[in-house]
Amino acid sequence: MRANVQFLLGDKPRVIEDIDPTMTVLEYLRGPAHRTGTKEGCAEGDCGACTVVLAEPDETGEGLTYRAVNSCIQFVPSLDGKQLITVEDLKARNGQLHPVQEAMCSSEASQCGFCTPGIVMSLFAMDRNTSSDALEEGATSDHIMDTLAGNLCRCTGYGPILAAAGSIRKDSDDKFAAAEADVLRQLNVFAEGEMMSVRNPKRSYFAPRTIAELTGLLSDMPHAQIVAGLTDVGLWVTKQHRELDTLISISAVSELKEISITEKHIDIGAGVTLSDAHETLASYYPDLDEFIRRFASIQIRNAGTVGGNIANGSPIGDLPPAFIALNATLVLRKGEATREILLEEFFIEYGKQDRQLGEFVERVLVPLPRDDEAFACYKISKRFEQDISAVCAAFRVRVEDGQVSEVRVAFGGMAGTPKRARSCEAALFGQPWTEATVRNAMQSLNGDFTPMTDMRSSADYRSLAARNLLMKFYLETTDQAPEQRVSEMTGGRHGHIG
Ligand SMILES: Cc1cc2nc3c(=O)[nH]c(=O)nc-3n(C[C@H](O)[C@H](O)[C@H](O)COP(=O)(O)OP(=O)(O)OC[C@H]3O[C@@H](n4cnc5c(N)ncnc54)[C@H](O)[C@@H]3O)c2cc1C
Ligand code: FES
Ligand code: FES
């Protein structure tokens, strides 16, 4: 095993040994790397002041993809094999500012400046990942809102920042374009080495590259903490000050990063990030497009994985209710043995999942859509973006000869686990798909759940929202769809049925 972390810091190779494997990238930058441009605001992935960009080979292997991430909740070993770009790297050798920095200056989009490096890095990733053609007229407002949803500014006001973002035009000859082939070559050299394992006297961190290596490590160390995108685990360290002794990351396991379409399923490896799953899921289930756009921020979606969102067992995770309504199956693996269970059966009770010691989530199988069925999912949260759900609802209904022939209703935020609403389903099944049936089923929901009151919402609000979301879904499958807050959501997006 290789006992160091290898990466590029800007254009310079770095090999780090003897570090605490849970040192955050932000601590590394502001400490040993003496790069204080990157700021700490919240240390929990919310404010974006710590945003940096990681470049990795893209899916063709011939170019780079640039991902903005929150350095405050990434550990240094997660840099292995990547290029880390910080705000210090942006200007040219002759001192010329990058077009993104120029745009921020000329729009007067900075006041105290604390959020500015993070905003610049989010916009830099947008600039790098967007073609010149797409930026010819400037980025669309949707694109800008998505790009900046994870960056908070407490003093400038967002007007000038959005104006700066809209004024960016791509400089196809900037130094990053010129250096891409060389960076790719160096990253490919890193990829050739052995599995990384770094340790200090307190803890160790392993990054297997194949399922065989992963199962071997888990069989030797079944109590090790599995980690993936670190968007939950990072906070255990920065906020809860937990001491983790052995960490096994699944992020470099190539088989777990695959997403494929089989005859019946969308087959998603547990290590696929929310960003990478987004387009495929949305192409089969258009309702998941906006739903995933509302999942945290780009920075979190670039790191957080589909498997992590399920395995963490959170009652307010966004994907589980949607996937349960879609009748998804989970594939778990321990050594050579794999088993499949319905996703809904994975969640036993609050904090308890059907996962054995040394077992890990390998894949999730989401059935492909069928004709004559409608699917929708909704997220209710206090803020539109970058907020955790108070209630999440997902509905899938099939109507044949005017009657409900299949139905699945699932909620998050209503119980200690993501859960199906069996009484509600029973009240809908076999009935005509009419308002009267739906009103009756809304009452049945009261028997399905006894939600709690917490900082996100009162129990009464949750119950009322759950009932009303069912009616909203029904109306959207007819020609009586209510007006929506968001323009793209208007007008019968789930198809008419019945
Ligand atoms: C600012 C912020 C906003 C967020 N917003 C949302 C949101 O809007 N919606 C939402 O649902 N969540 C949200 N989250 C929570 C989190 O980002 C997601 O749940 C994410 O998908 C977790 O994935 P990860 O890869 O980062 O998991 P990690 O943090 O790496 O791991 C989380 C847990 O899952 C386990 N685990 C991970 N992968 C596997 C595997 N393959 N097999 C077995 N166990 C595994 C780990 O052991 C750990 O217990 C947010 C988090 C932050 C910090
Ligand atoms: S410091 Fe706030 S997101 Fe990292
Ligand atoms: S300029 Fe002060 S926080 Fe944004």
pLDDT along the chain (498 residues), means of 10: 96 94 98 98 97 95 96 98 98 93 97 97 96 90 95 94 95 88 96 92 96 97 98 97 97 97 98 98 96 96 98 96 98 97 98 97 97 94 90 97 96 97 98 97 96 94 97 91 55 43
**pLDDT value of position 171:** 82
3-state class of 272 per DSSP?
coil
With CA atoms as reference, report the closest residue to 66 among 161, 176, 231: 176
Nearest-CA residue for atom 2 of ligand 3? 112
**CA angle 167–171–176, rounded 5-degree value:** 125
Evaluate: CB of 374 within 6 angstroms of ligand 2. Answer: no
If one counts every other C-beta atom within 10 angstroms of the C-beta of residue 141, the result is: 11
- CATH class of the domain whose range is 5-88+177-249: alpha beta
Cα gap 386→248, rounded to integer Å:
28
Model pLDDT, residue 491: 37
- Tell me the one-letter amino acid at 333: R
Tell me which residue has its CA closest to atom 18 in ligand 1. Answer: 309
DSSP string computed for 446-462:
HHH-----BTTB-HHHH
Q: Is the dihedral of CA 238, 242, 246, 248 positive or negative?
A: negative
- Distance between Cα 485 and ligand 2 center (Å): 29
CB 391 within 8 A of CB 411: yes
Q: To test the ligand 1 pocket, which listed residue (227, 240, 343) has its Cβ within 8 A of the most ligand atoms?
A: 227
d(CA 118, CA 121): 5
Verify whether ligand 3 is closer than 6 Å to residue 129 (CB atom).
no
User: How many CA atoms lie within 13 Å of 388's alpha carbon, on the beta-carbon side?
Assistant: 14
The CB density around residue 19, as the number of other CB atoms within 10 Å, is 19
Residue 170 CA, distance from chain mean position: 27
Give yes or no for a contact between 287 and 393, defined as CB atoms under 8 angstroms apart.
Answer: no
Alpha-carbon distance 52 to 37, whole Å? 10
Measured from the CB, is residue 410 less than 6 Å from ligand 2?
A: no
**435 to 280, 421, 495: CA distances (angstroms):** 33, 18, 17
For the domain covering 93-173, report its CATH number: 1.10.150.120
- Name the superfamily (CATH) of residues 258-489: CO dehydrogenase flavoprotein, C-terminal domain (3.30.390.50)
Given a contact cutoff of 8 angstroms between Cβ atoms, the answer to whether 260 and 272 are in contact is no
For ligand 3, the distance from its centroid to the CA atom of residue 119, given in whole angstroms, is 10
Query: What are the backbone dihedrals phi and psi of residue 347, each rounded to the nearest 5 degrees, phi first?
Result: -90, 105
Q: Which atom of ligand 1 is nearest to the CA of 297?
A: 3
Atom of ligand 3 at shortest distance to CA of 154?
A: 3
Kindly give the number of the ligand 2 atom that is closest to the alpha carbon of 46: 3
The predicted structure's pLDDT at residue 484: 65
- Residue 101 amino acid letter: Q
User: Ligand 3: does its nearest atom lie under 6 Å from the Cβ of 113?
Assistant: yes
Q: Residue 337 to residues 80, 124, 311, 340: CA-CA distances in angstroms?
A: 29, 44, 18, 10
Which ligand 3 atom is the nearest neighbour of the CA of 153? Answer: 4
pLDDT the model gives residue 279: 96
Q: What distance in Å separates the CA atoms of residue 257 and residue 244, rounded to the nearest whole number? A: 25
**Which one of 25, 50, 87, 152 would you pick to mutate in the ligand 2 pocket, going by the greatest count of ligand atoms within 8 A of its CB?**
50
> What is the DSSP secondary structure assignment for residue 358, as one 8-state letter?
T
Count other Cβ atoms within 10 Å, centred on residue 284.
Answer: 15
Determine the pLDDT at residue 132.
87
Residue 12: what are its φ and ψ, rounded to 5°?
-110, 130
For 12, the 3-state DSSP assignment is strand
Residue 213 Cβ contacting ligand 2 at under 6 Å: no
Rounded-to-integer distance, Cα 69 and Cα 62, Å: 22
pLDDT of residue 495: 44
Q: How far apart are CA 7 and CA 191, in angstroms?
A: 10
pTM of the model: 0.96
Q: Give the whole-angstrom CA distance, residue 331 versus residue 260.
A: 15
Nearest to 211 by CA among 170, 265, 269: 269
Q: Can you read off the two tokens belonging to residue 417?
A: 């686990």
Q: How far apart are CA 252 and CA 269, in angstroms?
A: 12
Measured CA to CA, the distance from residue 153 to residue 130 in angstroms comes to 24
The token pair that represents 393 in the structure block:
């609802």
The two beta strands, 83-85 and 5-9, are parallel
- Taking the C-alpha atoms of residue 404 and residue 56, their distance in angstroms, rounded to an integer, is 47
Q: Ligand 1 centre and the CA of 119: distance in Å?
A: 24
Domain boundaries, the chain: 5-88+177-249, 93-173, 258-489
Q: Say if ligand 3 is within 6 A of residue 148 CB.
A: no
Nearest to 21 by CA among 234, 240, 312: 234
Q: What does the alpha-carbon distance between residue 81 and residue 3 come to, in Å, rounded to a whole number? A: 13
Q: Give strand pairing partners of 53.
A: 68, 85
What type of residue is 164?
Answer: A
